Amino acid sequence: MKRIFSTLFVLILLVSPLTGAKAAENNEESDLQTVLVIDPRSGEEETIIADSVIILPDGSKIIKTAVENMTLTRAMGQKTGSSQWIKTGSDGTLLWRIKLTAHFTFDGNASKCTSASATTEVFQGNWIEGSKNTYPNGNAAVANVTMVRKFLFLVLDSQSVSLTIRCDKNGNMY
């Protein structure tokens, strides 16, 4: 039994190369580009405007989207915005998505984040949310999330990301 488990473990390691923190250090970055991703559930393609794209050694990508102004309320000085990190496979298929949504107030002199929330969505693979910490911090909303890919009890891959949305005194989000 021990020999079978050992053989299975070695096969898993050979088939699924680890792309953890070291892989993220050896990445390529670029700004403001259009990235095509594929939703594995529907097969539909989606075009995403990215602030940055990190290409990992195995060809998979981590994509940070531009901050999107979702709602301008009728009350002056309130805005809601969102940003997201998306991981795709080397073929562009969505693996998981982390979305940070934040609410801000501003008055021309200062701004303040009044609430922040983050959601995770897994599209494909054995990915799960490992940890998540979301909070408002002055004029910013911050989310620190770790996504983990497991097989049985073994961690095959892990990716930690940090999302931040800021709002200036005039309501411009970045």
Mean pLDDT in order along the chain per 10 residues (174 residues): 40 36 35 80 84 89 85 72 94 95 94 97 93 97 96 91 94 90
Alpha helices per DSSP H over the chain: 2-15, 21-25
Nearest to 97 by CA among 42, 22, 147: 147
Separation of alpha carbons 164 and 144, rounded Å = 9
CATH of domain 15-166: 2.60.40
* C-beta atoms surrounding 21 within 10 Å: 10
Give pLDDT, residue 88: 94
pLDDT at 3: 46
Per-residue model confidence (pLDDT) at position 72: 61
pTM, two decimal places:
0.75
40 token code pair? 């594995």
Write down the pLDDT at residue 81: 92
CA trace torsion 48, 43, 86, 121 (10° rounding):
130
pLDDT of residue 49: 82
Q: Which two tokens stand for residue 118?
A: 């983050």
